[in-house]
């Protein structure tokens, strides 16, 4: 009897998770790494629960996709730790109709989290093969509100500016002016700054300039300055 009950519970749960073998792990990730550390924005929690992070990492790392650390995505780049993705997304104070720019597409995971919350996501990646792979992955997953471009984030993506929010996922030495210029008044930018010691900042564009709030120490890959031809 006991065995039967357990079996029924397990099958009911499996069907609610839509045949996703990682659903359990993703739920634990949201609970233990994100909620319990103080991320409470329901739209961020819902996005982190919905997006299948294991589809954004190389196959050999799929079983570690929901662990509490960053993972390699090749080309010496990483997909950020889940908590940092959630933290930056919450810090950007997003609304449904927002247009958001991300610098550093990488795997496309942060872009997918953003696209679950806002209207449109534009994302720029310097490394061509990462941009191509992310674009294909996001298309295959059915995202129609994410636009990927191979290019240099220091130049931003002017055509769609101004943005309600900008999320930068590689660290420059100082805040690039082009990014500030392309924020709407009242717009928010979440950006890691520094080389060895990095700090995450929330930058808000004001009438008279910018307001900079220090959030926490972080470790991101550098935002690379491409060589001029």
Q: Cα(first)–Cα(last) distance of the chain, in Å?
A: 73
Give the Cα separation of 62 and 104 in Å (integer).
21
The structure tokens 């799929």 sit at 62
φ/ψ of residue 161, rounded to 5: -70, 160
Residues numbered 203 to 222 that lie near ligand SAH (CB under 6 A) are: 221
- Does position 127 interact with ligand SAH (CB under 6 A)? The reply is yes
In this structure, the number of other CB atoms found within 10 A of the CB of residue 166 comes to 28
Classify strands 146-150 and 163-168 as parallel, antiparallel or unpaired: unpaired
Q: How many residues bind ligand SAH (CB under 6 A)?
A: 23
Q: Which of 83, 109, 143, 147 binds ligand SAH (CB under 6 A)?
A: 109
Q: Which of 20, 41, 152, 199 binds ligand SAH (CB under 6 A)?
A: 152
Contact residues for 10 (Cβ-Cβ < 8 A; gap 6+): none
In this structure, the number of other CB atoms found within 10 A of the CB of residue 215 comes to 15
- Does position 150 interact with ligand SAH (CB under 6 A)? The reply is no
- Does position 78 interact with ligand SAH (CB under 6 A)? The reply is yes
Q: How far is the CB of 195 from ligand SAH (least distance, A)?
A: 13
* Contacting range for ligand SAH; rule: CB under 6 A; set: 20-28, 150-158, 174-182, 205-213: 150-158
Q: Which of 34, 48, 53, 77 binds ligand SAH (CB under 6 A)?
A: 77
Classify strands 99-103 and 146-150 as parallel, antiparallel or unpaired: unpaired
Question: Closest by alpha carbon to 216, among 200, 202, 203?
Answer: 200
Q: Which is nearer to ligand SAH, 57 or 183 (CB)?
A: 57
Q: How far is the CB of 42 from ligand SAH (least distance, A)?
A: 21
Give me the sign of the Cα torsion angle 49, 50, 53, 54: positive
Residues numbered 165 to 204 that lie near ligand SAH (CB under 6 A) are: 169-170
Active site (catalytic) residues: 80
SS3 165: strand
Q: Which of 80, 99, 135, 182 binds ligand SAH (CB under 6 A)?
A: 80
Q: Which residues bind ligand SAH (CB under 6 A)?
A: 77-80, 103-104, 106-107, 109-110, 124-127, 130, 152-154, 169-170, 221, 223-224
């Amino acid at each position: 009897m006991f065995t039967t009950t357990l079996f029924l519970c397990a099958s009911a749960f499996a069907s609610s998770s839509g045949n996703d073998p990682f659903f359990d792990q993703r739920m634990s990730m949201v609970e233990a790494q994100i909620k319990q550390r103080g991320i409470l924005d329901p739209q961020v929690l819902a996005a982190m629960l919905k997006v299948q992070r294991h589809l954004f990492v190389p196959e050999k790392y799929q079983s570690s996709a929901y662990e509490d650390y960053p993972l390699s995505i090749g080309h010496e780049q990483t997909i950020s730790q889940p908590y940092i993705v959630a933290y930056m997304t919450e810090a950007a104070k997003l609304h449904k109709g927002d247009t958001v720019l991300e610098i550093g597409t990488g795997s496309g995971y942060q872009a997918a989290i953003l696209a679950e919350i806002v209207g449109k996501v534009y994302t720029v990646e310097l490394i061509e093969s990462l941009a191509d792979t992310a674009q294909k992955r996001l298309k295959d997953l059915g995202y129609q509100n994410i636009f990927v471009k191979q290019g240099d984030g220091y130049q931003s993506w002017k055509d769609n500016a101004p943005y309600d929010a900008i999320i930068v996922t590689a660290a420059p030495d100082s805040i690039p002016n082009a990014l500030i210029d392309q924020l709407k008044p009242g717009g928010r930018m979440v950006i890691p700054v520094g080389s060895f010691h990095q700090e995450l900042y929330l930058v808000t564009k004001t009438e008279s300039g910018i307001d900079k709030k220090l959030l926490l120490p972080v470790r991101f890959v550098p935002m690379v300055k491409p060589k001029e031809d």
